[in-house]
Amino acid sequence: MSSKSVKTATRLEVVFAEDRMRAWFQLRDPASVREDEPISAEEVARALKAGRIEITEQVKTRVANYIALVGPNAVKPARPTEDTEDEEDGPREIPERFLIAEGRPPVEGRHAEFEWDEQFKGEAHDWNQEASIDYFSLNTILTVPEETLIGRIVPPENGQTGVDVCGRELRPRILQGVALSLGEGLKAAEGEACGVVTQTAGRVVVERDTIRVDQVLVIRNDIDFDSGSVDACIDVDVSGTVRSRFSVKTPKSLKVGKAIEAAFVETGGDIAVRGGILGQERAGKIRSGGSVTARFCEEADVRAVGDIRFTRESLNSVLHTDGKLLVAHGSIIGGSTYARGGVEAKVLGSAAGVPTDIAIGTHPKVLLRIRQLESEIKAAHKTAEQIRERVQPLIANMKRLTREQREQATELLSKADEIEFSASDKEAERKDLIENSGPAEPPFVRVEKLVNPGVRIAIGMRETRFAEPLRGPLRIEIRKIEGASEIVAASKRTGSLTVLPNNEIDLKSLAAAAQADGENDGTDEDDHTN
């Protein structure tokens, strides 16, 4: 123990603990205390005065106990008591050190704290186990829905001052506990002591003496190992980059200040990226319930309900939009694009003839499904009709039939009804696809500068392939030419209309490609419903 000594003119000295919360009488020379020369009350008083010990009732009691051990009235040499430390005894077994005073330590106060409800507390990970942990899916940022009990406020507690053995006041670091008030988006829970309920969805923020709900989740840096993946219920604003293999999910919108790498992004609203989308051979996936806007898109897999807009280019990407694909000042090179509402670009393809596949209007897979349904409906009607033809002679002679024959005829008619019923379900699906899978207006492809060789454009069930470059500005669309649907290119520059070489899409090849597509990635099996 570190201690500090106070010298006196007596055989006693007072020693202190370093924090002056305890003080002891200590004999300088235990051998100096003899039966004919005991410690006097005056020596004790001088030692206390020299040590500036505050005289309390506690100190008075301990002094009396000490004088009883070493004073003139001591009957026999004393042995260590619980008030002494277990140190080497003096010659007369008089305690070398005797606790004479104890201070009162300060009691720390505590500010109010927010305590999460159990349903929102993160699960603890046992890092000593060898279990596999997917660090890319760990989510360190929590957002909460509206009208939800999220936790409770633990009230503050005030601190208490203390005092050392010399009577000096010791103040705690926190003397007055600060309460925590409810800010925007929160209210007190009814029937729940100190409970807190959200009024709006958002991220709970505790700042100084207020707890509030932010309705936009702002991430100042990247989505990476520091932040973890994000699964939010509000708008998300990322200042940096969404790094590869991390994910962002929200039913609202997403803004990204730099780029999206090969990440997994799913939103119910718009996605706006100041930089580009870098899919790295389509390792990541972007899914938006609104629009997608970025500077460029490279080797990405992007699907959106609204428009997809790139200011510079799309390179070797898979794009799918129920709106329009707009690259008005850039190029679409390689990859596969479907835009129900049409496409606008400065250049399609490249001079090297990179295969570039573009489809607009009703998706070919939807048309394929419609054809399949039509074939199945026709086959069902034919089968039901054949069954009824077989049963008709039996029905005409019902009275002559045995019981078993009547039951068989009834079962056959029931089967025919079931087949007709299933055909009506397929007819309803067919009508729904026709009504809801097509564009609101006749779609077209607008090319400002050039269509390069290697470009394929499909509009509905017809397609055209470009073997030679075709200069713009062009508007490529379906028109009726002498009663037949043809793909044409209307030149804004010359005012001419050119019928492009076109043919009907090979449905067998399309069906085989669709099946292989589903087997390879196992995603977006419901393309035909889009």
Residue identified by tokens 């007055």 is 176
pLDDT in tens, 239-296: 999 999 999 999 999 999 999 999 999 999 999 999 999 998 889 899 999 999 999 9
pLDDT in tens, 377-421: 999 888 888 888 888 877 777 777 777 877 887 888 888 888 888
Residue identified by tokens 């390179």 is 315
One-character DSSP codes across 336-386:
EEEETTEEEEEEES-TT---EEEEESS-HHHHHHHHHHHHHHHHHHHHHHH
pLDDT of residue 485: 86
pLDDT of residue 8: 40
**8 A C-beta contact, residue 288 and residue 321:** no
Structure token digits, residue 50: 């020299």
Q: What percent of the chain has pLDDT over 90?
A: 50
pLDDT of residue 354: 95
Q: Are strands 342-348 and 162-163 parallel, antiparallel or unpaired?
A: unpaired
pLDDT of residue 514: 56
pLDDT of residue 131: 46
Tell me which of 28-32, 90-94, 143-147, 378-382 is least confident.
90-94
Nearest to 265 by CA among 280, 244, 239: 244
Mean pLDDT across 120-141: 56
- Measured CA to CA, the distance from residue 264 to residue 302 in angstroms comes to 10
For residue 390, the surrounding DSSP H or E stretch is: helix 364-396
Q: How far is CA 174 from CA 113, 159, 162, in A?
A: 14, 6, 13
Contacts of 102 by beta carbon, 8 Å cutoff, 6+ apart: 21, 22, 23, 58, 165
Structure token digits, residue 299: 């080797």
Given a cut of 80, is residue 52 above it in pLDDT?
yes
Mean pLDDT across 223-242: 92
**8 A C-beta contact, residue 163 and residue 170:** yes
Nearest to 39 by CA among 3, 63, 60: 63
- Work out the pLDDT band at 125, boundaries 50, 70, 90: very low
- Work out the pLDDT band at 365, boundaries 50, 70, 90: confident
